Amino acid sequence: MGGNSTLLWLSTVPWLLLVAIAAPLLLAVWRSQTYPTRVLVGILLVPILCSLLVALWAPLLLVLAIVDGVILVIAAIDYITLPVASRGGRGTRTAESRKTSGVGEAEGEAGGSQSDEPSAPAGRLAAERKLPRTTSINAATPSELTLRNGTRRTFRGFVRDDLPEGIEAEPAVHPVLLPPLSKATYTARVTPTRRGVIDFQRVYLETFSALRLWKRQIVLPVASRLNVYPDMKQMAEYALLARTDRLSLIGVRRTRRIGQDSDFERLRDYTPDDNYRHIDWRSTARRHKLTVRQFQSDQSQRIMLLLDCGRMMTNERAGMSLLDHSLNAALMMAYVALSQGDSVGMLCFSDRVHAYLPPRGGRNQLNRLLQAGFDQFPRLVESRYDQAFLHLSNHCKRRTLVALMTSVIDEVNAGQVVDYLGNLVGRHLPLGLLIRDRQIFDAADHPSDDPTRLYRAAVAAEILCWRDQLIHDLRHRGSLVLDVFPEEMTAPLVNEYLRIKADHLL
């Protein structure tokens, strides 16, 4: 009678058996990051259905107990096959670790791997990531992920690399079948969608048991750093068009110089745009080819690029912020100026000075400019023009072309721009590059009969009139001004620099 009463009591509460089976699963999840797969969850539906039938017919409790026991044994045996490994990983070395180990490498040097060859210690699972030190925004970059299995277990599942914000990978997930004491390398192409320093922290491995009833999440700490620079393709395009004398295709105009430099530099082949007075007839007769004398340009000019990183530069156009457009135009102007033999520096500021690079010449200066500006982003703070121009006056004594790149939308900031640029006149040559808001211009150029749009056009026209008065005030105080749209900044800025150089304004 006691056994029958116990059976009857268990038949009324069949969920106790399910709780007894689920308890080990919950304990495994809590202690070892192990989870049941969909296969095991589907198998567990069988005793759930049987428990519903037990409530209707008590003798089925014995069948339910047998089914639960079989499932428990199979799940326990399969759990034993789940690989367990001590975790280890190695990634790229940062600049600090290279200095500590005595390895001296240029931060801006491209190419090569940033990692040492890691060993696979016994009983451990190690990971290594190989990335180039630098890349450009929106440029597909090869990435290699190596897993080294130093254990006696086989790892089956999937591996996924860390994808910080601003990184896309193709493929993002790799299937893994890693036998004992072996290694495997998985390649992908990562594409950064933003510039700056991007830190990779981890590698995620999802491994399965033999019957795929269990899965375990393994996180391998693998630290790497990728420096993403602005797109440099425009510089290569400029160099190619300059060699073939086709700069007009990108909007750069040939500027006629006032006067003529007298320092002879070299002889070169005649081109249709050359002055026939510069033809060297003796060299032409000797080479049987028209040859002209090229004179050396004045190489003592200094340019200082001031980039506003405050709230005025947070607006976006064509998928990039105004600061991104300004940085691209500034780097292009620096490339042209350095190729002309001039010295270029940079100052980035918002509510404080973030980076300052004194004017220098030479090929390495462009790399320094990239290092100074690639990780600068617009901040939601008020720009302190007073601190920026005070820093400039303390560190830049010689006469310099000071190009301020900013956007003005209110009278407070506009008044500061006019005052500080106007105070530079005489000691330096100020150039204000004011970025237009295309939405305001479109609203003013396309009024309609709709009252709302008509009022909007009237307000936009009033803003543009205020802007024209601002530009007039700047020019009246002796400053040079460029008023351009963000996506059309590069060619006008380069043309203005070439005009200043041709007119010997410095």
391-405 residue pLDDT tens: 999 998 889 999 999
DSSP-assigned letter for residue 276: G
pLDDT at res. 67: 76
- Tell me how far apart the alpha carbons of residues 467 and 483 are, in angstroms, rounded to a whole number: 10
Contact status, residue 418 vs residue 474, Cβ threshold 8 Å:
yes
For the segment 46-61, what is each residue's pLDDT rounded down to a tens digit? 777 776 666 666 666 6
Asked if 307 contacts 350 with a C-beta cutoff of 8 angstroms, the reply is no
The CA-based angle 495-498-503, given to 5 degrees, is: 125
Query: Where does residue 501 rank: exposed (0-12), middle (13-18), buried (19+ CB within 10 A)?
Result: buried
Poorest-pLDDT segment among 174-178, 360-364, 384-388:
360-364
> What would the mean pLDDT of 71-81 be, rounded to a whole number?
83
At 248, the pLDDT band (50, 70, 90 cuts) reads low
Instruction: Check whether 219 has a pLDDT greater than 70.
Output: yes
Tell me the DSSP string of 379-398: -SS---HHHHHHHHHHH--S
pLDDT of 104 higher than 50: no
Query: Which has more confidence, 255 or 304?
Result: 304
pLDDT of residue 29: 57
Per-residue tokens: 57: 């017919």
Which percentage of the chain shows pLDDT scores above 90? 23
Is 119 in contact with 150 (CB distance < 8 Å)? no
Which residue type is seen at 125? L
Q: How confident is the model at residue 108 (pLDDT cuts 50, 70, 90)?
A: very low
Among 309, 303, 373, residue whose Cα is nearest residue 345: 303
The beta strand positions in 173-290, using DSSP E, are: 173-178, 182-192, 196-208, 214-229, 263-269
Residues 6+ apart with CB under 8 A from 15: 51
| CA-closest candidate to residue 257, choices 292, 295, 293 | 295
User: With the CA atoms of 270, 272, 277 and 283 taken in that order, what torsion angle do they form, in degrees rounded to the nearest 10?
Assistant: 20
**Are the CB atoms for 83 and 155 separated by under 8 Å?**
yes
- Do residues 291 and 283 lie in contact, with contact meaning Cβ atoms separated by under 8 Å? yes
pLDDT value at residue 361? 87
CB-based burial, 14-23: b 16+ in 10 Å, e otherwise: beebeeebee
268: tokens are 């070169």
Q: What is the C-alpha to C-alpha distance for residues 506 and 502, in angstroms, rounded to an integer?
A: 10
For the chain, how far is it from start to end, CA to CA, in angstroms?
Answer: 112
Residue 472 pLDDT > 90: yes
Name the band, by pLDDT with cuts 50, 70 and 90, for residue 62: confident
Q: What is the mean pLDDT of residues 107-124?
A: 44
Peptide bond into 171 cis (omega under 30): yes
pTM exceeding 0.85: no
Average pLDDT, the chain: 79
What is the C-alpha separation between 153 and 158, in angstroms, rounded? 16
Look at residue 439 in the predicted model and tell me its pLDDT.
86
State the pLDDT at residue 60: 67
pLDDT at position 78 is 83
DSSP letter at 115 equals: -
CB 198 within 8 A of CB 162: no
Q: Helix or strand or coil: residue 260?
A: coil
Q: What percent of the chain has pLDDT over 70?
A: 76
Q: How many CB atoms lie within 10 A of CB 67?
A: 18
Distance CA 68, CA 80 (A): 18
d(CA 333, CA 401): 12
What number is the average pLDDT over the span 125-139? Answer: 87
Residue 113's pLDDT is what?
A: 38
Q: Which of 57-61, 116-120, 145-149, 271-275 shows the highest mean pLDDT?
A: 145-149
Pick the range with the lowest mean pLDDT from 38-42, 44-48, 55-59, 484-488: 55-59
Q: Is 496 helix (H, G, I), strand (E, B) or coil?
A: helix
Taking only the tens place, the pLDDT of each residue in 416-464 is: 999 999 999 888 999 999 999 888 888 888 777 778 888 888 888 898 9
**Number of other CB atoms surrounding residue 456 within 10 Å:** 18
Q: Calculate mean pLDDT across residues 222-237.
A: 80
Bridge partners of residue 17, in order along the sequence: none
Across the range 19-34, mean pLDDT stands at 63
Q: What are phi and psi of 377, to 5 degrees?
A: -130, 150
Determine contact, residues 442/413, Cβ cutoff 8 Å. Answer: no
Of residues 405 and 214, more confidence is placed in: 405
Q: Which two tokens stand for residue 406?
A: 């900013």
